[in-house]
Amino acid sequence: MRIAYLTNAYPKVSHSFIRREIAALEQLGVEVLRLSVRATRDALPDAEDRAELEQTIVLLDGTAGMARIARATLVAAIAHPLRFGSALSMALAMARAGGAGVVRHLAYLAEACRLSELLVGHGIGHVHVHFGTNPAAVARLARVLSGISYSMTVHGPDEFDAPRGLSLREKIADSSFTAGVSSYGRSQLMRWADVADWPRIGVVRCGVDRAFLDHPPVSPPNSRRLVCVARLGAQKGLPLLLEAAAELVAAGQAFELRIIGDGELRPVLERQIEALGLGRQVALLGWRSGDEVLAELRDARAFILPSFAEGLPVVLMEAMALHKPVITTAIAGIPELVDDKCGWVVPAGSVTALVGAMSAALEADEAMRAAMGKEGHRRVVDRHDADRNAASLHDALQASPMRLIL
């Protein structure tokens, strides 16, 4: 089997689960062509991500890439005018639904012409898309241009924030199948899809690789260190975490909070840390390699992620695979994985609840933390093994017609 994978920007530090999924499919004998709409802007501390970068074809790859897109668009318009006209009508319909502008959707059409050219040239019969945003739009248009089918994994929360604007119903209808990453995610896809399309909507959970699953358990450390791994963006609730940290300091709690990640809110968080006098307690570490993240999690007392919006965070799975209790919020797919047997689940947006959970984690004895860690590890092994979950996707790709078996 030969397929392509398409994402908006690949590889990225926060999308290591896609790399794991591709690797697992390749172990099952699938040939995977890696395609990305844009070049990644992330620094790539992991050697595995740098290796993926070398194998990835970028559609919008500088001036040369733009020239190839322009040529592919001209060729498509001349060689297949009826198909091109149908794709143009679809692009304009998506533009009207999304309010994002005709120019942007004409760009998607041009990218789809180049994508079609690459798929045909490499003998690809199917493309799998991660995220139901612009890469799914490009794949949908390429289906009209080339007849090559697509499927997609929808993570949320972006797709569920603007389902009409992203033409989510239409993308689901035209796909061979659509996967959510949790039962919650599947329910949201069903909410916005035609009932007739429900049988082709399923769940393929994100997976954790063997470095985490097979890591030997260690005794719960007595450190007062809490670790957060997150993109520094509005969805992750990090300003609230800093408010909670300031309340803990005022209450006389000794602790250390280490935040791994980067993003547009970094200057805001830096100013907040200074204003709250948290320079001794909080460290913003930027992105770290997978080995460094593993080491930080291994040495932490607990992992914390106070998100406002999510799909189902892979980093929660990684922390739990390492026998770590977790503190997180009761949103999206998170309650399907985390409850009071393996951590603390608090209402999103509540500083008071977050302070209480952080205090409880700092005060929990070794036996309690060990029991939570053991249960969390069991759940991740049972539900989020990257190889096992990729096998489910492999079965869906082989089925005729393609569909997820629930």
Do 263 and 136 belong together in one domain? Answer: no
> Average of pLDDT values for 181-187?
97
| Residue range 12-49, pLDDT digits in tens | 988 889 999 999 999 999 999 999 999 998 889 888 99
**pLDDT score, position 400:** 67
Indicate whether 403 belongs to any domain: no
What tokens were used for 250?
């005022």
> Average of pLDDT values for 105-120?
97
pLDDT band at 302 (very low <50, low <70, confident <90, very high): very high
Indicate whether 141 belongs to any domain: yes
Indicate whether 406 belongs to any domain: no
In sequence order, what are the beta bridge partners of 128? Answer: 5, 151
Do 195 and 336 belong together in one domain? Answer: no
Do 201 and 283 belong together in one domain? Answer: no
| Residue 99 scores a pLDDT above 90 | no
Do 286 and 394 belong together in one domain? Answer: no
Sequence-distant (≥ 6) Cβ neighbours of residue 215 within 8 angstroms = 294, 298, 321, 322
**pLDDT score, position 70:** 97
| Residue 313 scores a pLDDT above 70 | yes
**pLDDT score, position 379:** 97
Please tell me whether residue 151 adopts helix, strand or coil conformation: strand
In sequence order, what are the beta bridge partners of 328? Answer: 305, 345
CA 105 from centroid of its chain's CA atoms: 24
| Residue 273 scores a pLDDT above 70 | yes
Identify the CATH number of the domain in which residue 105 sits. Answer: 3.40.50.2000
Residue that has been written with the tokens 């992991």 in this structure? 46
**pLDDT score, position 41:** 86
| Residue 216 scores a pLDDT above 90 | no
> Distance between CA atoms of 397 and 176, rounded to whole angstroms?
9
| Residue 171 scores a pLDDT above 80 | yes
Range of the domain at 21: 2-207+385-398
CA 95 from centroid of its chain's CA atoms: 25
Indicate whether 234 belongs to any domain: yes
Q: What total of structural domains would you count in the chain?
A: 2
Do 256 and 185 belong together in one domain? Answer: no
Mean pLDDT (the chain, rounded): 95
Do 166 and 253 belong together in one domain? Answer: no
- CA 383 vs CA 66, 74, 100, 303: distances in Å: 42, 47, 38, 19
Do 120 and 240 belong together in one domain? Answer: no
% pLDDT > 70, the chain: 98
Please tell me whether residue 18 adopts helix, strand or coil conformation: helix
Contact 179, 154 (CB under 8 A): yes
Do 186 and 266 belong together in one domain? Answer: no
Do 176 and 272 belong together in one domain? Answer: no
> Average of pLDDT values for 94-101?
84
Do 69 and 199 belong together in one domain? Answer: yes
| Residue 209 scores a pLDDT above 90 | no
Do 239 and 353 belong together in one domain? Answer: yes
**pLDDT score, position 238:** 98
Q: What angle do CA 262, 266, 267 make, to 5 degrees?
A: 155
Burial of 219 (0-12, 13-18, 19+ CB in 10 A): exposed
pLDDT band at 98 (very low <50, low <70, confident <90, very high): confident
Indicate whether 404 belongs to any domain: no
Indicate whether 164 belongs to any domain: yes
Sequence-distant (≥ 6) Cβ neighbours of residue 300 within 8 angstroms = 221, 223, 225, 226, 227, 258, 319, 324
| Residue 206 scores a pLDDT above 90 | yes
> Average of pLDDT values for 64-92?
97
| Residue 406 scores a pLDDT above 70 | no
> Average of pLDDT values for 277-289?
96
Contact 383, 322 (CB under 8 A): no
What tokens were used for 215?
């890591």
> Average of pLDDT values for 288-294?
91
Indicate whether 405 belongs to any domain: no
What tokens were used for 381?
């092994």
> Average of pLDDT values for 255-284?
97
> Distance between CA atoms of 84 and 250, rounded to whole angstroms?
64
> Average of pLDDT values for 142-168?
96
